Amino acid sequence: MCFPLRPRLAATLSVLLSGSVAALAQSSTDPLAPVRGQVTDATAAKPLPGAVVRWLGTAEAATTDNAGSFTLPRPARAEDSRLIINALGYGADTVAVATSGSPYVRVALRPSAELGEVKVEGRAPSYSSLTPTNTQVITSRDLTKSACCNLAESFETNAAVEVSTTDAVSGAKQIQLLGLDGAYSLLTIDNLPALRGLSTPYRLNYLSGTWIESIDIIKGMGSVVNGYESISGQVNVRLKEPDKAERLLFNAYGNDLGKFDLNLNLATPVSKKVSTTLLLHSDHLGRRVDRNKDGFMDLPLATQYNVFNKWKYMSGKGIVTEIGLGALRETREGGQLGFRTDMDDAYRQNYGFTSRTNRYTGFAKTSYTWPGRPYQSLGLLLSGTHHDFNSTYSYRQAPFEPRQYDGTQRTGLATLLFQSVLGTTAHTYRVGLSYLHDDYHEVFRNGINYLNETPEARYAREHRNRLENVPGGFAEYTYQNSRNLTLVGGLRLDRHNLYGWQLTPRFNLKYDATKNSVLRLAAGTGFRVANPIADNIGSLISSREFVIAPNLRPEKAWNVGGSFTQYFTVAGRNATFVTDYYHTEFRNQVVADMYTVPSLLLINNLEPGGRSFSRSFQAEVQMELVKGLTTKAAYKYLDVKTSYEGQLLRRPMTVPHRLFFNVGYATAFDKWRADFTVQGFGQRPLAPHPNEVGHQHGADQMTLPYSPRFVLLNTQLTCAFKRFEVYAGVENLTNYRQNNPIQNAATPFESGFDAAMVYGPTYGRLTYAGLRFQLE
């Protein structure tokens, strides 16, 4: 965790001065004499009971009494003379302590805006040593290592999350976590569920990289407080805070494909208690590019306007309120170079795709912390979303009609949350009530008119409406012995109006085996209602006919796993080794089958007696070789299989083996920064061509078509001046391209057309440049 320079420097100086005076007053000069002190509330100037004080890098800790006082013995082998002080509902702080004598330390903590959630990065730049969950943090500094025009590009220097393109026409992207598609990971913004449901296919394009303060990647089920939908993990995006963000940030970006991005962040205090930030983003690609000469645009023409306004109120008497409002409009147009929407019968003259999206969001968060009880608070979280889109796809020749997929989703979410302690801060709990309202209206016209189908039957087939009302309650208990053990157990019970009672248990354990070794275990269940068309939107860019079974059941899964983190030093510099393994087993899954009949996309429940699972293993090492030179290297193995017609086969488009390497160098004062990333991808299974007979069930799985192995190289160079930075970079240095990303591109209206099997770059090398201007 980063701390403002001036407050930290002032605190450090005051500690050193008070330590010197105390040392002179003591007759003992024993270097192992205990450290004494007091922790107070910075805003109320009152003692802070229940704060935990511990030595950095050890398990030695103490808890402040009712007067805020503490006494902490020095460890016998102290390698660091810094203390970490944190309290529930307050931002943590780190202070230096005199290495001898009996210093007296006074520390004032400020209330945290995050409802009782404290994160401290004590020993590692990316992996937290204190959180009970396996959490990796991507900081705002990490986001400047690549273009990061939007959330999709924010994971390019990270090994845990893989971003893939769903097809070669629409430009939609999705993340994969633990080998599972992005729909199985919960995406939250400032710890509120967001960008879910029908917005999933394009949601990674809906958040500008310049808006983001940090990203938390949590593997496993996580907490029950945020709902029941998380199965593979959670990605929490923290937006810029009104009271902490830079006054002005302007970013301009352009690349050789003709895409331009403009971003403007403005933040200002309105009064001593109120502050606001305005986040603006626009991007535009208006050039038709076809580098692989297949007659199709490599990227769709696209224009987006996006705005978000956030307000924050801090009363200074325990009340904190945040309000946010956002609006987005986006248009896309892809397909053949000759496709024009203003032509007569445009979708039959040339293959084309268009979409238009309008999205409006709002949230309000209010918390109250009891005076003198920083561990006790009450919070009310409200959010609402209106998401509306229309899309059209060419589909074969007459008599077939163009495909049409339109949708509207209205979502409301309310959570009432109370947290306190049981006796001492070693035993904390959170309880609450929640209510979810989801109103879905989808229209899917598959382009086919069936003989003898009545108008009523066709209407029922084409209109997919679903209303979900889900009241629920949850409780979560945390035990922390302030030395080496943290246990978190949670349980929530929800009453789904369509699927009845749903019980969601979750458990997390963190054990510090030594001062530098951390073991974590996690287990729990997840539950979600699938959106079969939105979850498989890439297959709309193909000749496959969608066959959706009636009575699809909710998806349910168990996730069990854990991680081991070892902190160590190399030549006196910090390094981290992390390895983790997670197993996700589905009790039911909505399976999209391209194997059995390749000309069809069969969407149905997991077959009786069938299995669907994901096994994920990752090992990663991070270290600073010399001052300013940091490296990361990782290997990931995924075993993701599903039963298709009685045979367990690998899921299409999932890479079993992946290698990752990143090296970054920064000169003094970050004047120059350079980053270089290597990603190696193993063979991945592809679905059979729509005109093929299909996979021969009962035969060896290597009869499946596989993609080749390939490597991608990215680099960026940044030069910083007093108030602005200029940067330039190259993605895909070796100019690698996937051969024939669009199958049967010359005959897109025939039955063999397929643009959904995209495993690599389609447009080759990409160069870009940009400018950042900033006023603190």
The pLDDT, as a whole number, for residue 80 is 57
Is residue 36 assigned to a domain?
A: yes
Q: Are residues 528 and 617 in the same domain?
A: yes
Is residue 362 assigned to a domain?
A: yes
The pLDDT, as a whole number, for residue 690 is 87
Most confident range, picked from 2-16, 98-112, 276-290: 276-290
Provide the residue range defining the domain that includes 71. 5-109
**SS in 3 state form for 692-745?**
CCCCCCCCCHHHCCECCCEEEEEEEEEEECCCEEEEEEEECCCCCCCCCCCECC
Q: Are residues 20 and 164 in the same domain?
A: no
DSSP conformational letter for 241:
P
Nearest one of 221, 65, 226 to 135, comparing CA atoms:
221
Q: Are residues 454 and 588 in the same domain?
A: yes
Q: Are 153 and 768 in contact (CB under 8 A)?
A: no
Which burial class, exposed, middle or buried, applies to 734 when counting CB atoms under 10 A from its CB (0-12, 13-18, 19+)? exposed
List beta partners, residue 741.
none
Q: What's the pTM value of the predicted model, to 2 decimals? A: 0.83
Indicate whether 29 pLDDT > 50. no
Q: Are residues 101 and 143 in the same domain?
A: no
**Considering only 73-87, 224-238, 474-488, 719-733, which range has the smallest mean pLDDT?**
73-87
Q: Are residues 46 and 178 in the same domain?
A: no
Is residue 126 assigned to a domain?
A: no
The pLDDT, as a whole number, for residue 735 is 96
CATH number of residue 681's parent domain: 2.40.170.20
Burial string for 173-195 (b: 16+ CB within 10 Å, else e) reads bbbbbbbbbbbbbbbbbbbbbbb
The pLDDT, as a whole number, for residue 700 is 52
Residue type for position 173? K
Is residue 114 assigned to a domain?
A: no
Q: Pull the structure tokens for residue 546.
A: 């969608």
> pLDDT higher for 230 or 122?
230
The pLDDT, as a whole number, for residue 511 is 95
Q: What is the pLDDT averaged over residues 259-276? A: 96
Q: Tens of pLDDT along 646-656?
A: 899 999 999 99
Q: Are residues 318 and 223 in the same domain?
A: yes
Band (pLDDT 50/70/90 cuts) for residue 22 is: very low
Residues 762, 771, 155, 625, Cα dihedral to 10°: 120
Pick from 92, 109, 126: which residue ends a domain?
Answer: 109
Please give the mean pLDDT across all residues of the chain: 88
CATH number of residue 15's parent domain: 2.60.40.1120
Q: Are residues 104 and 238 in the same domain?
A: no
Indicate whether 696 pLDDT > 70. no
Is residue 123 assigned to a domain?
A: no
Is residue 677 assigned to a domain?
A: yes
Q: Tens of pLDDT along 375-387?
A: 899 999 999 999 9
Pick from 93, 109, 125: which residue ends a domain?
Answer: 109
Q: Are residues 611 and 644 in the same domain?
A: yes
Is residue 128 assigned to a domain?
A: no
Percent of the chain with pLDDT over 90: 69
The secondary element (H helix, E strand) that includes residue 523 is: strand 517-528
Q: Are residues 517 and 659 in the same domain?
A: yes
Q: Are residues 170 and 79 in the same domain?
A: no
The pLDDT, as a whole number, for residue 672 is 95
Residue with tokens 């009786």: 608
What phi, psi does 312 have (nearest 5°)? -140, 135
Q: Pull the structure tokens for residue 34.
A: 């205990």
Q: Are 674 and 663 in contact (CB under 8 A)?
A: no
The pLDDT, as a whole number, for residue 28 is 38
Q: Are residues 593 and 635 in the same domain?
A: yes
Percent of the chain with pLDDT over 70: 90
Pick from 109, 126, 154: which residue ends a domain?
Answer: 109
Cis peptide before 4 (omega within 30 of 0): no
DSSP E strand stretches across 272-393: 274-285, 301-314, 319-335, 352-369, 377-393
The number of distinct structural domains making up the chain is 2
Is residue 564 assigned to a domain?
A: yes
Q: Pull the structure tokens for residue 384.
A: 């609402």
Q: Are residues 170 and 26 in the same domain?
A: no
